[in-house]
Every structure is written in C-alpha cells, then in structure tokens.
C-alpha cells in the first residue's frame, strides 16, 4: 500500500493520457482484458476503488491512476521508472499489496502494461470493480473453454468396435476393468430406434421388415429411413422446445393462451426435418429479423426471445421489463453456451470464472429487444397485397367507422385513460411523451403500457357502452349492419407474428449497479476467454448487436456452443450426456465422462457443416448404441460404475411423457397425423408436440409424467416415480379410453378375442412376438374377467317422476314468452334425459334455435352441457351441437358454444368449436338463441357465421348480450343419419341438467327482429315450437320419444362383457414395464 504522499503532478503526463486512450489496438485490448483487469480487480481495487480510497488513491480507472492520490500519479504511461505503481508492487518503497508481494508473473504483467502505454478501453468510463477472485491457472484450465481438439482415436484392440466412438468408449471401460454388454437383438433395436428418432412404436409390419432383413446394411437403411420421416422433426423438436422453455401460455397469474406461439414450434419441426445447419438455426433464433428480415420462415426463429413469462396484471413496468430481460439473458447462457450465467447477475459467480460484468456484457447484446404487437408473419409481397386491399376497405368504410367510434368516444377514451392510470406516475409520463422523444428504454417501458391499452381497446364493448342511450345504440346497430355490407372488400387477416426485434438502431443502455456505482456495460464476451470485442454493424432498423452475438456463438472455434449441442444430441440418444449436466458445463456441473470423445464428435459435427442428422447416424451406427439394455449389473459394475457412466450397457430408459401418450394413441389406432397448425387440447388424437403447453394448467397426462412446465430452460427430463402416475394409468379417464379403443381395434366387431388378436396386441405394444405361455395366460385372463365383470343394471333413480314441473316453480318471473303451464325436467341418469325428434326435416346449413331454459350444474371435467344437437360426438361424423362448457374446458367454464362438423369452402373435412364468449348463468331462467349460417355468401366466400344471443330472465335490468363469430365450416352439417336430440347427443355423455320451458327451431338464420325477443317473431318459419302442458311426460311434445337404456339381451350382454374383459387386458399391457421402458 502506498503510504507516503507526493504533491507534484507532472504536466508531461497529459500527452501520455491521450496516447494511452487513442492508440489502443486489438492486441493491447486483449492483453488488458485478459491479464491486467483481473489482476487489478483481485489485488488492488479492494483498497483503492469506489468504496475505499486508501491514501486518497483510486486504481479502478486510468484517469484515477493518472491523477493519483496525495502522493501523485500512480502511473506514467510508457515510463515504468516514473510510475509509483511499479515501485509499490516491487516493494522498493511502498508495499502493495500489504498482505504479500505479487508473483513475478503478476509484476511482469503490470510492468509490460505500463511499457505499452497503459492501454485502457474507453478510459473515461470503463471502471474496474472489486473482484473477490482473480482468474487463476485453474480457472484458465477450465475444460469447457479449452479449444476443441482433434484427439487421436485410440486403438483399443477390440473386435467389438464398429466405429471410432467405440474405441473411445472401450478404452474407458478397459481401464476400469469393465466389458461392454452384448449386442441387442433386432426386436430391441428396432423398438429403440423408432422411439428414439420418431417417438412412436414401430408397427408389426415395420418390426417384421427389419427383423427379417438379412442384408448387411439393414440397420443403416433403417436409420436413414427414420431420419427422412416427417415424424422425426416432431420428436426431436420436443427436445429443443424443452431447452428454450417453449410454452403456449404467458404463465404468472392469468396464464393467457398465446395463439401465435405454435408457429415457432412448427418452425423447429421444419428445421429439424430439413436438417438445417445448427449454426443457421441459432442465428435465426437470436437475430432472424436482422439476417433475413423479409423471410418469415427465418425470422419466426426470434420467437425464442419471447418465450419468457408475461403478466397481464403487471403495473410495475420497470421491474417487469427487468425480469423479462434477465430471463432472456439467463436462458441464452444456458441454452447455447451451457453455462449458469444467471448466478453472476448479482455478483461474480461464486464457483465458475464468470464475472458479474460478463453477465451484463451478454445482456447488452439483448437489452434493446422489442416484442412487436402488429408484425405480420408474411413476405413483403404478401404484406403489400394485403395492405392494398385493406386500404380499399378502409377508404370505403372510413366514414361509417368514424361515426361508429364517435358514438362512444368518451367512454372509449375514459377506458384507455383508466388503463394507463394504473401504472406509476413516472411510467405514465414516459407513455405520454411524443414517440420521437422517447429513448429505446422508454419505448420498451411504453410497450408494456401499450399492450394493456391495446387489449382494453380490442375488448371494448360499444353496445354495452351505449345501453343507456337507446337512440345511439340503435344508430350503432344500423351502422354495424351497413359496415357488414363491405365485408367482401376486407381481406382475410395475415397471421400475427409472435417474434422479436429491436426497438430501433440506438441501443438501450445496460448498467451494472452496485451500492455506490452505476457502470454502463457494452456488449462483450466472457472475460476469461480473452475474445476480441464484438464487431457490431447496425441495420436500418436494429442495433445489429444480436447478430454479433449469434456470429460469435456460431463460430467454429467457440469451445462452449459447439460442445454443448453435440452433448445434447448424445444425451437424447443415451438418456444422459457425456456431460451429464447439459445446461451447466461449469464447476457445479459434472465433468465429461469421455472428454476426448466429446471433442472428436464435435470435430466431426463441425466438419459436417453443423448438421445434426449425420451425427445421429454416426452415433447410432456405433456398437455402444447397439448394446443391449437387458444386462443386469454384477459385483464389478456395482462397485466400479453403478450409474453406468462409462456405458457398459445401453442405459435403460423410461418413455417420456410424450412417448407414453403418443404410443397409447398409436397402439389404440386413434393417432392422427398433421403438419403444423394451431395447438390443440390434450383430449385430441394428435401428437403431444401439438398439445397446448399451458404453464399453470398443463395437460394432466403430460404433466404427470414429468413434461416441463416451460418456466425455465429444461435441459433434461427428471423421470420421477409417483403415485399420481400410477393413478393416471390405472384410473385415469384418458388411459381407460385408450384401453377401450385398443380393445375395439383388436375385436374389430368380433364377439370373442382370438389367438391372432393376442399376437397382434403383443406386437403392437411390445414390438415382439408373444410366447406360448403368454398366449394361454391372456386367454385365461380374459375368460376370468368375463365372469367377474357384472352385467350393467338399469336402475330408475326417480320412479315417481313424470318429467314435467309447474312452470311457476322456476320460471314464474318470465313474462311475454308464451310459456305453457309446465316445464320439461331433464335429468341425466333418469328416464328423462334425452328427448329425440322422430322427424327432423327441412333444415340446411342456415337455421336458428331459440331456448328458454335453466342449467343447474356444470360437469367437473371438460364435458359439454348439451341442450340440443344432431350429432353423436365423433369428429368424423357430420353434425352440430349447442351447449355450455364445463369447469375444465379450454374455452373457460359457462361459455355458450356451438360444435360443427362439416366441410370447409375447399371441401375439406373440418371440426370446429365456435365459442361465443357469453357466460351462461347457473340456476337462473335464461333466454338464448343461436343463429347458424354454415354456408358461404357473396360477401364472405370462405366462411360462415354463428350469431349468439343471451339474456338473464331473472334480472329485469339485464340486457340482451350478442356475439357473432366466423366459422370455417360452410356445408354438410345436417346429417339425416343422426337424431335431433334435446338434453344431450345421439351418443353417450355430455348431457344437460336442468329444465326447458320453450324451444323453437326455425329455418334460416333469423335476423334479430324475428327472434322471440325481437317483436316480429311471427315472420319466423318454425319447424319446431315446444311449450309444455298436462302430465304426459312420456311424450311431452308431438312426434318425440325418449332415448333410454334398455335391458340387454343375452348376445349384447356377452359382447359387452367381452369388450370389457379385453379392455382390462389392454389396460394391463399399457401399465406394464415392458411398454413403459426401453430395455
């Protein structure tokens, strides 16, 4: 420490200051960042920095060194003999640091630095912070940052090896006194390959084709065939989506659905199927908008930057944006570099040589990101064509739209003001600033306000706002009808792009804050790597920083990113990576089990142009991959390598959540294939990769088997074993339905299970032949089950019920609707649950249903409370249904909906749920009408419409709510083979529980004035009009009858018992370890 003071400051230093700052070159910068900065940070700044200035001297900036303390300047650039710092570290007069002299190497570094002219990047502002640790030799020897070598392939002198991979594996085994397992038989291999590459079981035909293929290249051809399947991308996309924390919902409190997120999933699937080079894939993730701004198939990759959580109820905009950017930074470090850089957000990493400044240096590449709300996922040509047509519509309708808005302008403006007013005052001030005056960061904060205001605007209900002004409301309705006449001019909307870009060319600042300092941080790479500063070239609209980051991550000589992706590929084949902690190559992670093999594979990956499919083939053609998993550990394995880290056998693996679900659908014969598209509910028959990933309300089956929730990067699946999993498989409705469908597939209309059916079952589930003992045991089991399964008994729970109730009991307050003296009581499980119409003729795609009814309860699951339908519930059978959603519906509970099955304008089959968004009251008399127009028109040649009306009749002040929703189903919804049923469907389940006071069905989609609430209803052409009188509940309306469960005859009873018994057999197969594990 310098303890005596000088008072003379030489003016000769001033020119040297300029030289030190102006002539710095790349080599000098690298020397300073890699050698000098860490040394000053660890040995000097604790006593001579922002918080402590012993001897009034600071050594955390060049300016402070040149100014010096009370003793004078500590550094004279280029002159070591005049620099007090050199005198002090040599203990010639001062003794710094006082706890012990620096090493000779450290003294040489500082001496050389001053001789170079004391180069210091951005000398005026680039401060050195205190560091509790310097980069030691151990830090610099961190295995993960060493250059990827080209190791020599060992000569393990073994006939077991099939390629170079095996030489590396065998050497490690041999050193430990271990020997590899035998090769798996062909049945084990083909099942492994299909589940590994496609995530699906092989069919019996596919198994036979491989098992009986005697050619020498049978295995190689199988691998190539699987890699060319479109199912490959669907399977391997799942792995990547885990890593980048993909989800279809926002998370946090509301967990709102993200309808545009699925385009990213489809992009990942396409990229993998096309074997897009991984370096290009990464560049599109980080900077697709900068490198290919006109290519939607590339810039959709930037959706990666939007997969973090978002809270619609947030008000603290600054904190929320910090959370967004910090999450983005953390996941980027983990996903692409395999480092836990998030641990350096608040301080230097406690275990790895990663500085806090490294964290903010990485963040600076990302800190200018924006999430556009109105970017189209389209080419410039498509956008131009759309804008041209949109402009025509806007010009033709401007006067109408302006007048409509003016009617409720004050209410609209007040709503917008109230949304903005919920934010802190400083954020409001920023939001009100002219856009041209806002900084990049201020625009980011304004975006969080804009998003709330935009949502409020889209949900603003003009009729509701005008309900106290009847004249204005009438005027609005007239204008609304007039506007609709121009629908033919309006182009279909382009898909909204769920992507990211930068706010503008000028970057948002990134600050590293301590208790007393605020340091601006520029984009930079890990200090330990000593990399050159990034070369950043802004584009016309963006900072260019993300491209610089992407270019660095995808350099061939980047030791982290290249090893990380190769390790991930190996991990997905063997269940564990060569580095078993794929997101953490640091001290807290595990070192590689085969470090030279990892480097050798990485070299092959780079030589192959960063393509993944050749890496699959290389790995799967190894003897290591082809080992059997059916080898139990002996004493040597238990002692030397109990976790199979060295690969003495192929690791047994349980099927993951998606494999379990998809395999059940495939085996039961229900699985439907598709190519991209909107995310679906878990009850659908599509592959799991297309099932909605809702963070707070995930699919029960997938979540139960450890599918990640998407809140953070999931490097691997932790395969838990829990009672919930057993309950899902044994008692879960989804599992039971798959077992029953599988049983139907086996029986295929037969009355008895045959030997060939059992053989087929084993081939489908296990991918192998059944043994003779299994054959006999299965038939005995099914026979025994037939005896113990009881015959269904039809019990009348309400023997004294007539099916009719006095109207005054529940509908006494309802006037002016022409009700009868009774209401129809509809009760599931009673004799009065589904009333069908004997003749339902005269309906086409345009008709209207009007109802006055009460709904007493909702189902606890996702079943629909169906009031009237002409449909059996199958998405393959044309028909229609009107009902109310239940508690677990993806469309929210109490939603009045229509289900349509028919054809699109392109004559393609379609099933669609048309949701009104109107919430149906429980336990109250309600009027509702559904006006269906499942047909095209000159104004709308591609879509039909459904208009909903609803009014709570228990509230005299209640208004008539309305909603009009388009539908893609435009033909063939009337199915003469189906009964028109009130109280449910022409099938099982989904029934209404309540009372019905009046029901009408009319030809054509009635206008409002012809409805029962419209005042001119006499003009309606009604084919049904039910009100109820008297006591004859057996036939409450003309030409009707009740659908009732009748006692089964002997033949039907036997068939049902056989189906149930075979279902139990199928259920047992699905619950077996042989189905659930690859071993």
E strand segments, 568-679? 653-654
CATH 2.60.120.200 describes domain 806-1032: yes
User: Nearest CA to 695 among 245, 251, 242?
Assistant: 251
The pLDDT confidence band at residue 70, using thresholds 50, 70 and 90, is: confident
What band does 656 get if pLDDT is binned at 50, 70 and 90? very high
Domain boundaries in the chain?
13-134, 653-718, 735-792+1053-1078, 806-1032
Tokens 């080599």 found at: 27
Residue 958: CB atoms within 10 Å: 15
State how far the Cα of 1041 lies from the Cα of 1048, in Å rounded to an integer. Answer: 20
Burial of 694 (0-12, 13-18, 19+ CB in 10 A): buried
Give residue 799's pLDDT. 76
The winner for highest mean pLDDT among 92-101, 529-538, 563-572, 865-874 is 563-572
What is the per-residue pLDDT for 1048? 53
**pLDDT one-digit tens code per residue, 187-217:** 999 999 999 999 999 999 999 999 999 999 9
Token pair listed for 677: 């598209």
Whole-number Å distance between alpha carbons of 927 and 63: 80
- Can you list the alpha helix ranges (DSSP code H) found in 731-811? 733-747, 755-766, 772-788, 807-811
Residue pointed to by tokens 């609430």? 1013
pLDDT at 8: 26
Position 667 confidence tier, pLDDT thresholds 50, 70, 90: very high
Lowest mean pLDDT among 47-56, 89-98, 830-839: 47-56
Distance between CA atoms of 913 and 898, rounded to whole angstroms? 6
**Token code pair at residue 295:** 């290519």
Can you give the pLDDT at residue 878? 92
340-354 pLDDT, tens digit per residue, is: 999 888 888 888 888
Asked if residue 34 has pLDDT above 80, the reply is no
Tens digit of each residue's pLDDT (9 = 90 or more) over 424-464: 999 999 999 999 999 999 999 999 999 999 999 988 889 88
- 592-610 confidence digits (pLDDT tens): 999 999 999 999 999 999 9
- Which pLDDT tens digit goes with each residue over 776-809? 999 999 999 988 877 666 666 777 788 899 999 9
pLDDT at residue 576 tops 90 = yes
**Res 85: pLDDT:** 87
Residue 11 in this model has a pLDDT that exceeds 70: no
Q: Which of 87-91, 757-761, 941-945 has the highest mean pLDDT?
A: 757-761
Q: What is the mean pLDDT of residues 35-44?
A: 80
Lowest mean pLDDT among 552-566, 620-634, 907-921: 907-921
Q: Do residues 600 and 551 touch, judged by C-beta distance below 8 A?
A: no
Q: SS3 of 847, please?
A: strand
What is the C-alpha to C-alpha distance for residues 732 and 323, in angstroms, rounded to an integer? 38
Q: What percent of the chain has pLDDT over 70?
A: 95
Judge contact between 937 and 927, C-beta under 8 A: no
Q: How confident is the model at residue 331 (pLDDT cuts 50, 70, 90)?
A: very high
N-terminal to C-terminal alpha carbon distance within the chain: 67
Task: Say which DSSP state 496 is in.
Answer: B
Contacts 24+ apart (CB under 8 A), 725-734: 728/700, 728/701, 728/704, 729/1070, 729/1071, 730/1067, 730/1071, 732/700, 732/701, 733/861, 734/682, 734/683, 734/700, 734/701
Check residue 9 and give its pLDDT.
28
Range with top average pLDDT, 71-75, 521-525, 864-868, 932-936: 864-868
User: Considering only CA atoms, which of 1076, 1072, 1050, 1078 is closest in space to residue 778?
Assistant: 1072
pTM, full prediction: 0.75
Give the pLDDT confidence score for residue 130 in this predicted structure: 58
Whether 615 contacts 569, CB under 8 Å: yes
Is residue 295 over pLDDT 70?
yes
Helix (H) or strand (E) holding 375: none
Please give the average per-residue pLDDT across 1033-1054, as a whole number.
Answer: 76
Tokens of 438: 């806002």
pLDDT at 63: 85
At residue 452, what are phi and psi to the nearest 5 degrees?
-70, -45
Mean predicted lDDT score pLDDT of the chain: 89
Q: Which has more pLDDT, 1032 or 178?
A: 178
Q: Supply the pLDDT for residue 599.
A: 97
Per DSSP, the three-state class of 367 is coil
Average pLDDT (480-505) is 92
What pLDDT, on the 0 to 100 scale, is given for residue 140? Answer: 86
């Amino acid at each position: 420490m310098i303890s005596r003071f000088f008072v003379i400051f030489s003016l000769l230093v001033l020119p040297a200051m300029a030289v030190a700052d102006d002539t710095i070159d790349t080599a000098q910068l690298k020397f300073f960042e890699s050698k000098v900065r860490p040394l000053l940070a660890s040995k000097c700044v604790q006593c001579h920095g922002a918080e402590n200035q012993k001897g009034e001297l600071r050594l955390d900036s060049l300016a402070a060194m040149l100014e010096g303390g009370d003793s004078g300047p500590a550094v004279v650039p280029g002159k070591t003999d005049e620099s007090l710092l050199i005198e002090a570290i040599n203990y010639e007069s001062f003794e710094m640091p006082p706890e012990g002299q620096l090493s000779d190497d450290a003294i040489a570094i500082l001496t050389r630095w001053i001789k170079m002219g004391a180069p210091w990047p951005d000398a005026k502002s680039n401060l050195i912070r205190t560091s509790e640790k310097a980069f030691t030799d151990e830090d610099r020897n961190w295995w993960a940052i060493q250059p990827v070598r080209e190791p020599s392939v060992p000569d393990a002198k073994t006939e077991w090896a099939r390629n170079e991979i095996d030489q590396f594996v065998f050497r490690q085994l041999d050193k430990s006194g271990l020997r590899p397992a035998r090769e798996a038989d062909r049945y084990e291999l083909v099942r492994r390959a299909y589940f590994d590459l496609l995530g699906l079981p092989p069919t019996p035909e596919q198994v036979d084709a491989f098992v009986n293929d005697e050619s020498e290249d049978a295995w190689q051809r199988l691998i190539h065939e699987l890699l060319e399947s479109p199912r490959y991308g669907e399977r391997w996309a799942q792995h990547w989506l885990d890593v980048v924390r993909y989800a279809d919902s926002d998370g946090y409190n509301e967990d709102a659905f993200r309808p545009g997120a699925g385009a990213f999933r489809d992009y990942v699937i396409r990229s993998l199927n096309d074997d897009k080079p991984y370096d290009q894939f990464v560049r599109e993730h980080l900077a697709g908008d900068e490198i290919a701004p006109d290519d939607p198939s590339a810039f959709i990759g930037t959706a990666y930057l939007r997969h973090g959580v978002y809270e619609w109820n947030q008000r603290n905009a600054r904190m929320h944006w910090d959370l967004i950017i910090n999450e983005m930074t953390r996941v980027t470090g983990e996903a692409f570099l395999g480092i836990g850089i998030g641990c350096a957000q608040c301080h230097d990493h406690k275990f790895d040589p990663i500085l806090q400044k490294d964290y903010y240096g990485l963040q600076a590449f990302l800190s200018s990101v924006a999430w556009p709300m109105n970017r189209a996922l389209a080419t410039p040509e498509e956008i131009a064509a759309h804008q041209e047509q949109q402009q025509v519509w806007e010009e033709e309708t401007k006067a109408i739209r302006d007048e409509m808005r003016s009617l409720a302008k004050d209410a609209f403006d007040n709503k917008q003001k109230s949304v903005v007013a919920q934010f802190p005052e400083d954020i409001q001030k920023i939001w009100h600033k002219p856009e041209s005056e806002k900084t990049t960061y201020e625009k980011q904060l304004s975006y969080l306000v804009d998003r709330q205001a935009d949502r409020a605007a889209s949900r603003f209900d003009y009729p509701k706002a005008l309900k106290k002004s009847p004249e204005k409301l009438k005027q609005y309705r007239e204008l609304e009808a007039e506007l609709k006449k121009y629908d033919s001019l309006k182009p279909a909307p382009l898909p909204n792009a769920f992507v990211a870009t930068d706010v503008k060319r000028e970057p948002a600042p990134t600050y590293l804050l301590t208790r007393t300092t605020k340091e601006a941080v520029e984009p930079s790479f890990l200090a330990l790597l000593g990399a050159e500063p990034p070369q950043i070239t802004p584009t016309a609209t963006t900072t260019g920083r993300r491209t610089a980051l992407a270019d660095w991550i995808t350099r061939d000589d980047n030791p982290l990113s290249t090893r990380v992706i190769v390790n991930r590929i190996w991990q997905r084949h063997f269940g564990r990576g060569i580095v078993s902690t794929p997101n953490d190559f640091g001290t807290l992670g595990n070192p590689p089990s085969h470090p030279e093999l990892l480097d050798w594979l990485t070299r092959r990956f780079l030589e192959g142009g960063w393509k993944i499919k050749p890496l699959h083939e290389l790995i799967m053609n190894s003897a290591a991959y082809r080992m059997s998993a059916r080898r139990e550990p002996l004493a040597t394995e238990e002692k030397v390598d109990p976790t199979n880290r060295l690969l003495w056998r192929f690791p047994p693996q349980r099927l993951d959540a998606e494999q379990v679900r998809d395999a059940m659908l495939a085996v039961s014969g229900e699985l439907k294939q598709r190519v991209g598209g909107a995310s679906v509910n878990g009850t659908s028959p599509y592959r799991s990769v297309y099932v909605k990933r809702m963070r707070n309300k995930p699919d029960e089956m997938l979540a139960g088997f450890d599918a990640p929730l998407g809140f953070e990067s999931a490097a691997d699946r932790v395969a838990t074993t829990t009672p919930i999993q057993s309950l899902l498989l044994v008692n879960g409705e989804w599992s039971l339905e798959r077992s029953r469908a599988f049983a139907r597939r086996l029986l295929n209309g037969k009355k008895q299970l045959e030997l060939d059916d059992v053989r087929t079952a084993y081939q489908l589930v296990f991918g192998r032949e059944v043994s003779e003992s299994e054959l006999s045991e299965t038939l005995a089991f099914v026979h025994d089950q037939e005896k113990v399964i009881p015959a269904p008994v039809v019990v009348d729970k309400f023997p004294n019920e007539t099916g009719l109730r006095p109207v005054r009991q529940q509908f006494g307050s309802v006037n002016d609707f022409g009700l009868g003296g009774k209401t129809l009581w509809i009760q599931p499980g009673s004799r009065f649950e589904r009333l069908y119409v004997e003749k339902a003729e005269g309906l086409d795609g345009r008709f209207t249903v009007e109802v006055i009814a009460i709904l007493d309860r909702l189902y606890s699951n996702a079943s629909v409370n169906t009031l009237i339908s002409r449909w059996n519930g199958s998405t393959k059978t044309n028909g229609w249904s009107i009902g109310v959603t239940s508690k677990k519906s993806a469309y929210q509970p109490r939603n009045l909906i229509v289900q349509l099955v028919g054809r699109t304008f392109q004559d393609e089959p379609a099933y669609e749920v048309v949701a009104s968004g109107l919430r149906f009251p429980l336990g109250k008399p309600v009027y509702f009408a559904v006006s269906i127009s499942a047909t095209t028109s000159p104004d709308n040649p591609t879509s039909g419409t459904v208009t909903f009306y609803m009014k709570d009749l228990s509230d005299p002040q209640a208004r008539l709510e309305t909603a009009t929703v388009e539908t893609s189903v435009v033909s063939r919804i009337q199915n003469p083979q189906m009964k028109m049923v009130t109280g449910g469907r022409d099938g099982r389940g989904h029934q209404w529980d309540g009372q019905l006071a009046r029901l009408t069905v009319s030809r054509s989609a009635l206008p409002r004035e012809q409805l029962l609430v419209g005042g001119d209803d006499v003009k309606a052409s009604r084919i049904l009009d039910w009100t109820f009188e008297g006591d004859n509940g057996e036939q409450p309306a003309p030409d009707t009858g009740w659908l009732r469960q009748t006692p089964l005859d002997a033949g039907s009873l036997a068939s049902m018992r056989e189906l149930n018994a075979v279902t139990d057999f199928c259920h047992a197969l699905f619950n077996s370890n042989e189905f659930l594990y690859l071993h």
